[in-house]
A and B are shown apart, each in its own frame.
Chain A
Amino acid sequence: MRVCVVGCGAVGSLFAANLAQLDDVEVWAYDLSREHVDAINRDGLRLSGAGEVLGRLTATSDPAALPACDFGILATKAMHTAAAIEATAAAFVGGCVATVQNGLGNEEAIARHAERVIRGTTFPAGRLVEPGHVQWDVKGDTTLGPFEPRPAPFEEVERLADACTRAGMPTTAVRDARGPQWRKVIFNAATNPVGALTRLTHGRVCEDPELRRLVTGLVDEGKAVAAAQGIELDADPEDLIDHAARPEVAYDHKASMLQDVEAHHPTEIDYLNGGIVRFGREQGVATPLNRAIWSLVKGLEQSW
């Protein structure tokens, strides 16, 4: 089977390099960074940290160079989804396209250009150290499921999940993947922007009782929007938030959005709190706190 990772940043590289370990999978990567692409083609794609992996694959910045693929794995930042799938859609005419991105709305954007779409949520994390080399910070599970309005056949979802699992990226195929996705979105939307606006690490956000109550207010709105859609969360985001605040877990972790803010990079706020607000509006569920946080982070981006 042939897989193309679209957007070979940190998370995309974890999938690409690991999948390239399998004899029965041919891996391609599409990425706009020429330096990264050249390094991958020359030296392979190297992971270090949570696992030492060297993946041999073909990378390109030219969408016309992509062969027909059985699967696409979209792993760009959420604001680049539409452009990335528009550029690469021809490679997936006969295949399925999965997203392992953050936030809400990626599946909808992909479905405008692809027939068979797979909803996905992934927890592993890393960061690009240099072209061709990604630091693998955190191992974690991935959940895949058919995207209801334009579903990939479930056996295809299972085939991709099986390949990922065999490659060392534990992945589960489920009929309804919305629960894990909303659990992660609610977690991220309630904690990342609060860290970004206050400049506090996750642990310190949770230590301040008033701030922690604000986080709960954001979580509750997200839960109400999920419930209105009939989504059953697979775990309580509150438990994840408290778990992550433990010193041995992620007390000192600076949310990726805080890192974006410090570097003056656009954030994924439109797809986190903005996504909760949009889905809330469709469901008739009020989300005033998420909307306030969305506006504040948009304002922060506008100040640069």
Chain B
Amino acid sequence: MRVCVIGAGAIGSLFAAHLAKVVDVLVLTRRKEHAQELNDRGLQVSGRHDFTARVTAAADPDELPEFDVGIIATKANGVEDAAASLAGRFPAATIMTVQNGLGAEEIVHRHGAWPLISAVTFMSGTKHSDTHVEYILDTPTWLGPYGATPFDGVEELARLLVESGLEAEALPDLRPAQWSKLIFNATVNGVAALTGLPHDAHFAAEGAESDLGHLVHALVDEGKRVAVAEGVVLHDDPWEMNVLATKRGSAHYPSMLEDVEARRPTEVELINGALVREAGRHGVDAPLQNAVYRLVAAREASYS
């Protein structure tokens, strides 16, 4: 069994290092120096786990041998390039996507006929260097079949992740989990990016009339109405997910907040944009989600 992780950010690095304990792991990076460093030094994990893994990395897909499972772990706006780099290659592989938002599977599907596995992950980490990732939250990754992909392949990959030391679960239908996370991310990441607040107690505060918790609640409620129209019964209530996350002690900095502070492109189109477009498709009013979407998109436009 050989797994290739495409995109070695925090999430990709956590998958690659853990899986390398149980199978051969390849890593496809964007930068040559990154691949070189990984080959020379291995991939160190600290935090909840503490070990260094050997991986085989390359920046050029032509340098990679065949593999059984590819995990595309780029940010949502990196999926297009990642999938294009796999196009015409690795015909025996099953590809897993694990992006925030909606639509990653469709993007990959346009570049090849690989069987696809959908996933959402709640684990989090911080990359301290190209070869060092800190494992921060050991919350699970959920996997489900996309289209006609057989479920036993999904279960096998989930088992492999669990064996490697990560939390994972195979679900026959991922959409309930994917939509829970979509609504959670659209709300929490968007509000964090606009306010500059990490995901802390402000997001659950519903005392004073202007407290942020009221807005977060209203945004979640709009998202839930869209899910109902889509026919999805949510796996978790995004408001409960929000409240729970704010009680975890150290406040998480959502990636969208880190992106706007570093003036980088955000995932707003594939998260907030996706939710607002789904609302429009179903004729569901989502004025507050729309406002957050337009404000974050405009904040991105302000970089130039």
A interface residues, Cβ below 8 angstroms from B = 194, 197-200, 204-205, 208, 210-211, 213-214, 217, 270, 274, 277-278, 288-289, 291-296, 298-300, 302-304
**In contact, B302 and A204 (Cβ under 8 angstroms):** yes
**In contact, B298 and A295 (Cβ under 8 angstroms):** no
Chain B hits for A205, CB < 8 A: 298
**In contact, A197 and B194 (Cβ under 8 angstroms):** yes
Interface residue B1 (Cβ < 8 Å from any Cβ of A): no
Chain B hits for A208, CB < 8 A: 294, 298, 301
How distant is the Cα of A294 from the Cα of B195 in the complex, in angstroms?
Answer: 11
Most chain B beta-carbon neighbours within 10 Å: one of A194, A197, A211: A197
Known contacts A288-B288, A299-B191; is-contact A198 B302 (Cβ 8 Å): yes
Q: How far is the CB of A56 from chain B (nearest CB, A)?
A: 43
How distant is the Cα of A293 from the Cα of B218 in the complex, in angstroms?
Answer: 13
Other than the given A198-B295, A205-B298, A214-B294, 14 more pairs (CB < 8 A) read A197-B194, A199-B302, A200-B301, A210-B298, A277-B210, A278-B209, A288-B218, A289-B287, A295-B211, A296-B212, A296-B215, A299-B195, A299-B202, A302-B195
Q: How far is the CB of A68 from chain B (nearest CB, A)?
A: 39
How distant is the Cα of A199 from the Cα of B194 in the complex, in angstroms?
Answer: 10
Chain B hits for A213, CB < 8 A: 294
Closest to B216 in A: A295
How distant is the Cα of A291 from the Cα of B206 in the complex, in angstroms?
Answer: 13
**In contact, A288 and B287 (Cβ under 8 angstroms):** yes
Interface residue B214 (Cβ < 8 Å from any Cβ of A): yes
In-complex Cβ contact of B287 among A210, A217, A274 (8 A): A217
Which 4 pairs show the lowest CB-CB distances between chains A and B?
Answer: A299-B195, A303-B196, A198-B298, A295-B215
How distant is the Cα of A88 from the Cα of B215 in the complex, in angstroms?
Answer: 38
In-complex Cβ contact of A300 among B195, B209, B214, B297 (8 A): B195
Closest to B208 in A: A298
Chain A hits for B197, CB < 8 A: 299-300, 302-303
Q: How far is the CB of B201 from chain A (nearest CB, A)?
A: 10
**In contact, A211 and B191 (Cβ under 8 angstroms):** no
Chain B hits for A304, CB < 8 A: 196
How distant is the Cα of A288 from the Cα of B215 in the complex, in angstroms?
Answer: 9
21 of the cross-chain contacts (CB-CB < 8 Å) are A194-B298, A199-B302, A200-B301, A200-B302, A205-B298, A208-B294, A208-B301, A210-B298, A211-B298, A214-B295, A274-B209, A277-B210, A291-B215, A292-B218, A292-B292, A295-B211, A296-B195, A298-B211, A298-B212, A299-B197, A303-B196
How distant is the Cα of A102 from the Cα of B212 in the complex, in angstroms?
Answer: 24
**In contact, B299 and A198 (Cβ under 8 angstroms):** yes
Scan B275-299; emit 1 where CB is below 8 A from any A CB, else 0.
0000000000001101110110111
Closest to B260 in A: A199
What is the number of residues of chain B that contact chain A, defined by CB distance less than 8 Å? 25
Known contacts A198-B302, A288-B287; is-contact A299 B294 (Cβ 8 Å): no
How distant is the Cα of A210 from the Cα of B214 in the complex, in angstroms?
Answer: 24
B interface residues, Cβ below 8 angstroms from A = 191, 194-197, 202, 209-212, 214-215, 218, 287-288, 290-292, 294-295, 297-299, 301-302
How distant is the Cα of A291 from the Cα of B294 in the complex, in angstroms?
Answer: 16
Chain B hits for A291, CB < 8 A: 209-210, 214-215
How distant is the Cα of A298 from the Cα of B298 in the complex, in angstroms?
Answer: 19
Chain A hits for B215, CB < 8 A: 291-292, 295-296
In-complex Cβ contact of B210 among A210, A217, A270, A288 (8 A): A270
**In contact, B191 and A296 (Cβ under 8 angstroms):** yes
**In contact, A274 and B210 (Cβ under 8 angstroms):** yes
How distant is the Cα of A208 from the Cα of B301 in the complex, in angstroms?
Answer: 10
How distant is the Cα of A300 from the Cα of B212 in the complex, in angstroms?
Answer: 10
How distant is the Cα of A199 from the Cα of B297 in the complex, in angstroms?
Answer: 11
**In contact, A214 and B291 (Cβ under 8 angstroms):** yes
Most chain A beta-carbon neighbours within 10 Å: one of B218, B290, B291: B291
Chain A hits for B302, CB < 8 A: 198-200, 204
Chain B hits for A270, CB < 8 A: 210
**In contact, A292 and B291 (Cβ under 8 angstroms):** yes
How distant is the Cα of A193 from the Cα of B194 in the complex, in angstroms?
Answer: 11
In-complex Cβ contact of A295 among B214, B290, B301 (8 A): B214
How distant is the Cα of A277 from the Cα of B211 in the complex, in angstroms?
Answer: 13
Most chain A beta-carbon neighbours within 10 Å: one of B194, B209, B210, B294: B210
